[in-house]
């Protein structure tokens, strides 16, 4: 996308920002101000690092000030729902919103752009769609919900959820079964813990096209995944390994596969794609991914 003329100095700015906890290093302010510059929008985007007990007050302040848009990140994507006037179908289904928009009537509506962001990131990184693929999904926390919904929506053939706590894996699978009905999807969803309790067999263990990691990185979780993956044997050469984390760029999960001829992607492209969707909701302007990536080359 060509750079457009800067917004008129006298255009009133519209205000937006990211709400989360411990988000000092969030790249969203940089990404959104870059999109604002590229599109000529007059966006003023802040970062609001809010402790848990203050989130309700902070978000009410956002509404009282009649700010246009918010991005919501951990740990508030589910909590924010109760302060919104309406939800998009997808935000309602996965019970999480990462984007808030002040609609034309002044009400606040929640959206989930992580779903589209994930789908577009897989297309971009894998050069193939999700449809018909066999997927291993590591983790069953908040972030995995949008990922599972996206996989089912796009018609993944088989999905195996692996999680430390088998109860959470089962709950996510049960939600997945409801989403399958709603989306009329044939995806087969199964679940297990890292010791393969809970499944007798899954085609994903025989051959797998995509492994998505949503497990919170730590020494303990890294070691658990390392042992699990070692027990599985090698993935085929063209398997896509996708981490939703992007810091450090070569994430702990991706490091486990150092030297193997697999396609690996951290969460940066998903971050950019979900941001493009949020920006589109606020402004009606769709920023080209490659143009944005070029502008932000320094962060890759
Ligand atoms: P997020 O919103 O980022 O997904 P979350 O909801 O707390 O955060 O989910 C964190 C995920 O990382 C979960 O799948 C969690 O496993 P449990 O459901 O068993 O808690 C996983 N996780 C966190 N720490 C872990 C560890 N030390 N070992 C294995 N998995 C871990």
For residue 191, give the nearest of 209, 175, 210, 207 by alpha carbon.
Answer: 175
Share of the chain above pLDDT 70, in %: 97
How many Å lie between the centroid of ligand 1 and the Cα of residue 215? 5
Residue 259: predicted pLDDT: 81
| Separation of CA 16 and ligand 1 centre (Å) | 29
| Pocket, ligand 1, Cβ cutoff 6 A | 74, 139-144, 163-165, 168, 214-216, 218, 220-221, 224
**92 has pLDDT over 90:** yes
DSSP characters over 77-94: TTGGGGG-SEE-HHHHHH
Q: Is the dihedral of CA 67, 73, 75, 81 positive or negative?
A: positive
**What's the helix, strand, coil split of the chain in %, to 5?**
40, 20, 40
pLDDT tens digit string along 215-257? 999 999 999 999 999 998 889 889 999 999 999 999 999 999 9
Task: Kindly report the average pLDDT of the chain as a whole number.
Answer: 95
Half-sphere exposure of 38 (CA within 13 A, CB side): 24
Q: Pocket of ligand 1, candidates 136, 140, 212, 215: which has the most ligand atoms within 8 Å of its Cβ, to mutate?
A: 215
pLDDT score at 6: 54
Is residue 63 among the annotated active site residues?
no
């Amino acid at each position: 996308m060509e750079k457009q003329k800067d917004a008129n100095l006298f255009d009133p700015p519209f205000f937006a920002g990211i709400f989360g906890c411990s988000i000092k290093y969030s790249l969203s302010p940089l990404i959104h101000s870059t999109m604002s510059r590229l599109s000529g929008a007059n966006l003023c985007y802040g970062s609001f690092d809010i402790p848990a007990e203050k989130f309700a007050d902070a978000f009410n302040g956002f509404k009282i000030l009649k700010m246009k848009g918010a991005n919501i990140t951990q740990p508030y994507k589910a909590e924010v729902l109760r302060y919104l006037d309406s939800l998009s179908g997808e935000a309602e289904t996965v019970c999480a919103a990462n984007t808030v928009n002040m609609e034309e009537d002044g009400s606040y509506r929640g959206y989930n752009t992580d779903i589209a962001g994930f789908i577009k990131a897989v297309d971009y990184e894998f050069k193939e769609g999700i449809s018909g693929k066999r997927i291993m999904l590591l983790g069953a926390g908040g972030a995995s919900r949008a990922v599972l919904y996206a996989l089912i929506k796009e018609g993944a053939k088989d999905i195996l959820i692996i999680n430390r706590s088998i109860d959470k894996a089962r709950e996510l699978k049960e939600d997945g079964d409801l989403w399958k009905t709603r989306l009329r999807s044939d995806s087969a969803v199964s679940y297990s813990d890292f010791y393969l309790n809970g499944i007798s067999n899954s085609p994903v263990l025989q051959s797998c096209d995509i492994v998505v990691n949503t497990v919170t990185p730590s020494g303990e979780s890294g070691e658990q995944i390392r042992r699990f993956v070692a027990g599985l044997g090698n993935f085929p050469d063209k398997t896509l390994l996708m981490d939703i984390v992007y810091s450090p760029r070569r994430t702990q999960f991706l490091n486990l596969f150092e030297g193997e001829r697999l396609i690996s992607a951290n969460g940066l492209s998903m971050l950019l794609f979900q941001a493009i969707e949020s920006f589109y909701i606020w402004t009606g302007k769709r920023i080209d991914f490659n143009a944005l990536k070029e502008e932000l080359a320094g962060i890759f």
